Amino acid sequence: MPSTSKPVIGVISCNRTVEGEDAYIVKTRYVDAVARYADAVPLICPSIENVGDADAIIARLDAVLLTGSNSNIEPARYGAASGRAPFDWNRDAMSDALIKAAIAAGKPVFGICRGLQEINVALGGTLVDQRDGPEPALPHHAPDGVSIDDMFGYGHRVALEPGTPLAEITGAKSIAINSVHYQAIGQLGRGLVVNARAEDGVVEAVSSAAGTPPILAVQWHPEWRPEGRPHDLAFWREIGEIARSAASQ
């Protein structure tokens, strides 16, 4: 298939300091996953200050992907009195604007980890942090100080809700996932449908209700070395198919 016929998926950036200067960055594993496993063209969307440009950005895309990040969403955005740094205010603002612009334009929105949380908050939901309560029965993050391989190697199983998009594309009732997060969905956002839960009830995947612009988001990291994990490869294939369908309309 010629590259010009592939759908274009925008990948949001984070804001970091590189060599003493402000920079818009995206970890390569997200961009590479869009290209390799979704068979789409990735286009990095900088989290610029002018969120009014979100409509113009979305107009040039077939879909948008909100990635994971080491930053947390600023707590005032979901009505919390406090939260844990680091924060990325420009990304918070741009992700919110991109989500709402994409939904208004009827274009797909995909999310991974922080991206799922951004979607939930944009739709009026809330977040909770496991570190703010008693020691959880099921930790969702590896202990501090481990290697990156061990951090992304930590995980648990989740149960898939029958009849939901994730259950249908994986053909499974439960799957083993990696787990690299402290924050999670508290109150579910408007119009979102739970696709997967951990045994402690934490929401691990969501989609949009039938008849609304497509949303598909997971709390884990399917972009991290997905070879050999059929459910993560199925996630990326579905992203590609949804974006292709949107591009053809």
Over residues 140-179, the pLDDT tens digits come to 999 999 999 999 999 999 999 999 999 999 999 999 999 9
Query: What span, in angstroms and rounded, lies between the C-alpha atoms of 139 and 142?
Result: 7
Q: Which amino acid is at 149?
A: D
Going by pLDDT thresholds of 50, 70 and 90, the confidence category of residue 5 is: confident
215-218 and 109-112: which strand pairing? Answer: parallel
Asked if residues 120 and 46 have their Cβ atoms less than 8 Å apart, the reply is no
Which of 32, 21, 23, 97 has the alpha carbon at shortest distance from 58? 97
Q: Is 135 exposed, middle or buried (0-12, 13-18, 19+ CB in 10 A)?
A: exposed
pLDDT for the residue numbered 87: 97
Which of 189, 192, 187 has the alpha carbon at shortest distance from 80? 187
**Which pair of tokens denotes residue 199?**
């045994």
3-247: CATH, from 3.40.50.300, 2.30.40.10, 2.40.50.140, 3.40.50.880: 3.40.50.880
Q: Which amino acid is at 2?
A: P
Going by pLDDT thresholds of 50, 70 and 90, the confidence category of residue 133 is: confident
Q: Count the Cβ atoms, other than its own, within 10 Å of residue 149.
A: 9
Going by pLDDT thresholds of 50, 70 and 90, the confidence category of residue 249 is: confident
Q: Which helix (H) or strand (E) holds 198?
A: strand 192-198
Torsion angle of C-alpha atoms 229, 233, 238, 243, degrees rounded to 10: 150
pLDDT for the residue numbered 206: 98
pLDDT for the residue numbered 52: 95
| Domain residue extents for the chain | 3-247
pLDDT of 4 > 70? The answer is: no
pLDDT for the residue numbered 134: 81
pLDDT of 2 > 70? The answer is: no
